[in-house]
């Protein structure tokens, strides 16, 4: 019976469906979401399912707490310690109200390791017009940075799986440094693994495959084909790695 829950929106949304179906019975006082885009309709559904406030924030390792949700549903930038500059594909500024290709993040609060104009591949839209909540800080819409919820389907039945669940299961395996989950079709998932030095890569991959197979079977997904790739996890140009996503 947690009093406070902090989690990915995709994960708490799955739990909200379980709560509404009567298979889960928890009563948190507050839920805070982060790391993925939280759709307004999802926020309302989660709040209804758990009968508590659901807040949202936009944060990053480099920028810290970049923006927080106000009572009118706007993510206001903490512009007294964060500078967020929306840019196009050439790194040039985009005007307010225009979706960006990326954002340059400067963290004014980090005095130990300053981060200045660090490029992140998040698409945001900046707004400077007044907000009815009264906060004078600009606010942003988050268009990107959304880890995909994987959807497996067979014979007209669809099952949703939080990609982070498979990722966390993989990295909880001895010898696994990191992993990347890629859904290739409604019934196929590929797992890429990077192992620590000194570990048998094939043995680590085999253990992860067996754990994933057990998870799929236990989730009513015996038809999903699990493939352990020979390729290593791939990072974006900015150095980040998508933990789980669909590619088909």
Rounded CA separation 235/97 (Å) = 29
Task: Give me the phi and psi of 74, to 5 degrees please.
Answer: -110, 140
Q: Which of the residue ranges 1-15, 41-55, 136-150 has the most confident prediction, judged by mean pLDDT? A: 41-55
Query: Taking 50 as the threshold, does the pLDDT of residue 137 lie above it?
Result: yes
Q: What is the mean pLDDT of the chain?
A: 90
Q: pTM for this structure? A: 0.59
Tokens of 31: 């839920």
Q: Which residue in the block uniquely carries the two structure tokens 């859904």?
A: 183
What are the pLDDT digits (tens) for 73-116? 899 999 988 999 999 989 999 999 999 988 999 998 888 888 89
Cα-flanking dihedrals φ and ψ of residue 16, to 5°? -65, -40
pLDDT, tens digit (0-9, with 9 covering 90-100), for 24-77: 999 999 999 987 778 888 899 999 999 999 999 888 877 888 999 998 889 999
Q: Would you call 67 helix, strand, or coil by DSSP? A: strand
pLDDT given for residue 84 in this prediction? 94
Residue 146 has pLDDT above 60, yes or no: no
pLDDT at 238 over 70: no
Give tens-digit pLDDT for 183-230: 999 999 999 999 999 999 999 999 999 999 999 999 999 999 999 999
90 Cβ contact list (under 8 Å, min separation 6): none
Output the pLDDT for position 232.
95
CB-count exposure of residue 122 (10 Å: 0-12, 13-18, 19+): buried
CA-nearest of 90, 71, 82 to 126 is 82
- Which pLDDT score, from 0 to 100, does residue 71 have? 86
| CA 156 – CA 158 distance, rounded (Å) | 7
- How far apart are the C-alpha atoms of 244 and 146, rounded to whole Å? 10
Is the confidence at residue 248, as pLDDT, over 90?
Answer: no
Place of tokens 């890429």: 192
Phi, psi of 128 (to 5 degrees): -115, -5
- pLDDT at 14 (0 to 100): 86
- Among the listed residues 163, 185, 169, 172, the one whose alpha carbon sits nearest the alpha carbon of residue 241: 163
């Amino acid at each position: 019976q947690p009093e406070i829950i902090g989690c990915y929106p995709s994960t708490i949304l799955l739990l909200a469906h379980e709560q509404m179906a009567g298979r889960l019975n928890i009563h948190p006082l507050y839920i805070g979401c982060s790391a993925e885009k939280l759709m307004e309709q999802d926020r309302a559904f989660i709040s209804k399912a758990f009968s508590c406030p659901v807040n949202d924030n936009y944060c990053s390792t480099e920028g810290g707490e970049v923006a927080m949700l106000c009572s009118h549903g706007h993510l206001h930038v903490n512009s007294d310690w964060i500078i967020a500059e929306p840019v196009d594909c050439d790194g040039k500024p985009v005007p307010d109200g225009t979706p960006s290709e990326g954002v340059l993040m400067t963290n004014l609060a980090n005095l130990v390791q300053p981060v200045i104009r660090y490029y992140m591949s998040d698409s945001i839209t900046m707004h400077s017009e007044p907000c009815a909540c009264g906060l004078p800080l600009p606010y942003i819409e988050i268009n990107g940075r959304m880890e995909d919820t994987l959807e497996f389907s067979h014979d007209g039945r669809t099952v949703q799986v939080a990609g982070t669940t498979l990722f966390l299961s993989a990295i909880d395996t001895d010898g696994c440094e990191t992993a990347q989950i890629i859904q290739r079709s409604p019934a196929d998932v590929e797992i890429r693994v990077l192992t620590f030095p000194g570990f048998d890569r094939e043995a680590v991959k085999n253990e992860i495959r067996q754990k994933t197979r057990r998870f799929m079977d236990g989730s009513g997904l015996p038809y999903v084909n699990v493939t352990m790739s020979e390729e290593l996890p791939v990072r974006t140009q900015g150095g980040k790695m998508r933990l789980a996503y669909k590619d088909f």
